Amino acid sequence: MKAGNFACTFCLDCVHACPHDNVGIIAGLPGPALIEDRRGSGIGRLSQRNDAAALVWVMVFGALVSAAVMIDPVMAGMHSVYARLQLHSMLPVTTALFIAGIVLAPLLCAWLCGTVSAWLGHTDGGWKPQARSFAFAMVPLGAAMWVAHFAFHLFTGWQSIVPVAARILNLSAGMTAISAQIPSWLPAAQILVLDGGLILSVYIA
Protein backbone atom coordinates (compact mmCIF):
# COMPACT_ATOMS: atom_id res chain seq x y z
CA MET A 1 0.00 0.00 0.00
CA LYS A 2 1.20 3.47 -0.83
CA ALA A 3 0.62 5.92 2.00
CA GLY A 4 1.70 9.54 2.05
CA ASN A 5 3.55 11.79 -0.36
CA PHE A 6 6.87 10.00 0.12
CA ALA A 7 5.49 6.79 -1.40
CA CYS A 8 2.95 8.26 -3.85
CA THR A 9 3.71 10.90 -6.48
CA PHE A 10 0.02 11.11 -7.49
CA CYS A 11 0.72 9.91 -11.04
CA LEU A 12 -2.53 7.88 -10.83
CA ASP A 13 -1.13 5.05 -12.97
CA CYS A 14 -2.75 2.71 -10.44
CA VAL A 15 -6.18 4.00 -11.49
CA HIS A 16 -5.54 3.04 -15.11
CA ALA A 17 -4.12 -0.34 -14.07
CA CYS A 18 -6.99 -1.20 -11.70
CA PRO A 19 -10.06 0.74 -12.85
CA HIS A 20 -12.63 -1.37 -10.96
CA ASP A 21 -12.91 0.29 -7.54
CA ASN A 22 -9.60 -1.11 -6.34
CA VAL A 23 -7.97 2.27 -5.78
CA GLY A 24 -8.90 4.92 -3.26
CA ILE A 25 -7.55 8.40 -2.67
CA ILE A 26 -8.14 8.91 1.02
CA ALA A 27 -7.68 12.28 2.69
CA GLY A 28 -5.57 12.33 5.80
CA LEU A 29 -4.04 14.72 8.26
CA PRO A 30 -0.52 15.94 7.43
CA GLY A 31 2.21 14.61 9.66
CA PRO A 32 1.26 11.07 10.79
CA ALA A 33 4.19 9.64 8.79
CA LEU A 34 6.54 11.55 11.08
CA ILE A 35 5.29 9.54 14.07
CA GLU A 36 4.02 6.21 12.79
CA ASP A 37 7.04 5.32 10.63
CA ARG A 38 5.12 2.79 8.59
CA ARG A 39 6.81 0.86 5.80
CA GLY A 40 6.01 2.57 2.52
CA SER A 41 5.82 0.91 -0.87
CA GLY A 42 9.15 1.32 -2.61
CA ILE A 43 10.81 3.44 0.08
CA GLY A 44 10.72 1.30 3.21
CA ARG A 45 10.73 3.08 6.55
CA LEU A 46 11.64 6.77 6.63
CA SER A 47 13.66 6.25 9.81
CA GLN A 48 16.00 3.99 7.82
CA ARG A 49 16.52 6.34 4.87
CA ASN A 50 19.70 8.44 5.04
CA ASP A 51 18.65 10.48 2.00
CA ALA A 52 15.26 11.43 3.44
CA ALA A 53 16.82 12.41 6.77
CA ALA A 54 19.51 14.45 5.02
CA LEU A 55 16.81 16.24 3.00
CA VAL A 56 14.99 17.15 6.21
CA TRP A 57 18.16 18.43 7.88
CA VAL A 58 19.00 20.58 4.84
CA MET A 59 15.46 21.99 4.50
CA VAL A 60 15.21 22.83 8.20
CA PHE A 61 18.59 24.55 8.34
CA GLY A 62 17.91 26.17 4.97
CA ALA A 63 14.86 27.81 6.55
CA LEU A 64 16.95 29.07 9.46
CA VAL A 65 19.78 30.39 7.29
CA SER A 66 17.54 32.07 4.71
CA ALA A 67 15.73 33.87 7.52
CA ALA A 68 18.97 34.73 9.34
CA VAL A 69 20.49 36.57 6.39
CA MET A 70 17.55 38.99 6.46
CA ILE A 71 18.13 40.32 9.97
CA ASP A 72 20.38 43.28 10.79
CA PRO A 73 22.98 41.59 13.06
CA VAL A 74 23.76 38.89 10.49
CA MET A 75 23.87 41.36 7.62
CA ALA A 76 26.14 43.65 9.66
CA GLY A 77 28.44 40.72 10.41
CA MET A 78 28.60 39.72 6.76
CA HIS A 79 29.46 43.26 5.67
CA SER A 80 32.06 43.48 8.43
CA VAL A 81 33.79 40.35 7.12
CA TYR A 82 33.51 41.70 3.57
CA ALA A 83 35.18 44.99 4.57
CA ARG A 84 37.82 43.38 6.77
CA LEU A 85 38.94 40.97 4.06
CA GLN A 86 38.73 43.73 1.42
CA LEU A 87 36.82 41.53 -0.97
CA HIS A 88 35.55 42.71 -4.34
CA SER A 89 32.19 41.00 -3.91
CA MET A 90 29.85 39.74 -1.19
CA LEU A 91 29.57 36.41 -3.01
CA PRO A 92 32.37 34.63 -1.06
CA VAL A 93 30.90 35.73 2.28
CA THR A 94 27.37 34.68 1.32
CA THR A 95 28.60 31.37 -0.10
CA ALA A 96 30.60 30.59 3.04
CA LEU A 97 27.60 31.39 5.24
CA PHE A 98 25.28 29.11 3.29
CA ILE A 99 27.81 26.26 3.18
CA ALA A 100 28.28 26.57 6.93
CA GLY A 101 24.54 26.86 7.52
CA ILE A 102 23.11 24.12 5.30
CA VAL A 103 26.03 21.66 5.17
CA LEU A 104 28.36 21.93 8.15
CA ALA A 105 25.79 22.90 10.80
CA PRO A 106 23.35 20.05 9.92
CA LEU A 107 26.21 17.54 9.96
CA LEU A 108 27.39 18.78 13.34
CA CYS A 109 23.88 18.84 14.82
CA ALA A 110 23.01 15.41 13.41
CA TRP A 111 26.17 13.92 14.91
CA LEU A 112 25.65 15.69 18.23
CA CYS A 113 21.96 14.76 18.54
CA GLY A 114 22.60 11.19 17.46
CA THR A 115 25.55 10.73 19.81
CA VAL A 116 23.79 12.20 22.85
CA SER A 117 20.58 10.25 22.12
CA ALA A 118 22.48 6.97 21.76
CA TRP A 119 24.37 7.66 24.98
CA LEU A 120 21.30 8.62 27.01
CA GLY A 121 19.24 5.77 25.60
CA HIS A 122 22.03 3.17 25.92
CA THR A 123 21.35 2.01 22.35
CA ASP A 124 23.65 0.20 19.97
CA GLY A 125 24.31 1.01 16.34
CA GLY A 126 26.05 4.36 16.68
CA TRP A 127 24.74 7.86 16.14
CA LYS A 128 23.30 7.55 12.63
CA PRO A 129 20.05 5.70 13.45
CA GLN A 130 19.29 8.20 16.20
CA ALA A 131 20.05 11.16 13.92
CA ARG A 132 17.82 9.73 11.19
CA SER A 133 14.93 9.26 13.59
CA PHE A 134 15.36 12.65 15.25
CA ALA A 135 15.52 14.50 11.92
CA PHE A 136 11.81 14.03 11.25
CA ALA A 137 10.89 15.61 14.58
CA MET A 138 12.32 18.87 13.24
CA VAL A 139 9.95 19.03 10.24
CA PRO A 140 7.25 21.15 11.99
CA LEU A 141 9.84 23.64 13.22
CA GLY A 142 11.39 23.96 9.75
CA ALA A 143 7.98 24.30 8.11
CA ALA A 144 6.97 26.95 10.64
CA MET A 145 10.13 28.93 9.89
CA TRP A 146 9.42 28.83 6.15
CA VAL A 147 5.81 29.94 6.74
CA ALA A 148 6.91 32.81 8.99
CA HIS A 149 9.57 33.85 6.48
CA PHE A 150 7.31 33.78 3.43
CA ALA A 151 4.49 35.46 5.38
CA PHE A 152 6.80 38.43 5.91
CA HIS A 153 7.39 38.76 2.16
CA LEU A 154 3.72 38.21 1.36
CA PHE A 155 2.27 40.78 3.74
CA THR A 156 4.98 43.40 3.20
CA GLY A 157 5.22 43.05 -0.57
CA TRP A 158 1.65 42.39 -1.69
CA GLN A 159 1.43 45.89 -3.16
CA SER A 160 4.06 44.95 -5.73
CA ILE A 161 1.25 43.43 -7.78
CA VAL A 162 0.16 47.00 -8.67
CA PRO A 163 3.23 48.04 -10.72
CA VAL A 164 3.44 44.56 -12.24
CA ALA A 165 -0.16 44.72 -13.41
CA ALA A 166 0.36 48.28 -14.62
CA ARG A 167 3.36 47.22 -16.68
CA ILE A 168 1.42 44.33 -18.20
CA LEU A 169 -1.41 46.69 -19.12
CA ASN A 170 1.00 49.41 -20.34
CA LEU A 171 -0.20 51.76 -17.62
CA SER A 172 3.18 52.26 -15.95
CA ALA A 173 3.35 55.97 -16.85
CA GLY A 174 2.88 58.10 -13.75
CA MET A 175 3.19 55.19 -11.34
CA THR A 176 4.69 56.12 -7.99
CA ALA A 177 7.09 54.01 -5.96
CA ILE A 178 5.50 51.67 -3.43
CA SER A 179 7.11 51.37 -0.01
CA ALA A 180 6.89 48.15 1.97
CA GLN A 181 5.25 48.47 5.35
CA ILE A 182 5.29 45.86 8.09
CA PRO A 183 1.80 45.31 9.58
CA SER A 184 1.81 45.78 13.35
CA TRP A 185 0.34 42.31 13.92
CA LEU A 186 2.81 40.44 11.71
CA PRO A 187 5.72 39.90 14.18
CA ALA A 188 3.36 38.49 16.81
CA ALA A 189 1.78 36.19 14.20
CA GLN A 190 5.22 34.97 13.12
CA ILE A 191 6.18 34.20 16.72
CA LEU A 192 2.90 32.33 17.17
CA VAL A 193 3.59 30.21 14.09
CA LEU A 194 7.13 29.48 15.28
CA ASP A 195 5.85 28.56 18.75
CA GLY A 196 3.39 26.13 17.19
CA GLY A 197 6.13 24.54 15.10
CA LEU A 198 8.37 24.20 18.14
CA ILE A 199 5.61 22.60 20.23
CA LEU A 200 4.84 20.10 17.48
CA SER A 201 8.53 19.27 17.08
CA VAL A 202 8.88 18.67 20.81
CA TYR A 203 5.76 16.50 20.75
CA ILE A 204 7.02 14.38 17.86
CA ALA A 205 10.47 14.06 19.44
Measured CA to CA in angstroms, residue 138 lies from 48, 116, 149, 186 at distances of 16, 16, 17, 24
The DSSP call for residue 138 is G
More confident residue, 169 or 86: 86
Per-residue confidence band for 177, with pLDDT thresholds at 50, 70 and 90: low
Query: How far is residue 4's CA from residue 114's CA, in Å, rounded to a whole number?
Result: 26
* Model pLDDT for residues 64-90, shown as the tens digit of each residue: 999 998 888 999 999 999 999 988 899
pTM: 0.76
* Model pLDDT for residues 98-139, shown as the tens digit of each residue: 999 999 999 998 899 888 888 888 887 788 888 888 888 899
- Report yes or no: 204 and 136 within 8 Å, Cβ to Cβ: yes
Domain limits, the chain: 13-204
Neighbours of 106 (CB within 10 A): 23
Measured CA to CA in angstroms, residue 52 lies from 8, 72, 127, 141 at distances of 15, 33, 16, 17
Q: Considering the chain, what is the average pLDDT of its residues?
A: 84
pLDDT at res. 92: 92
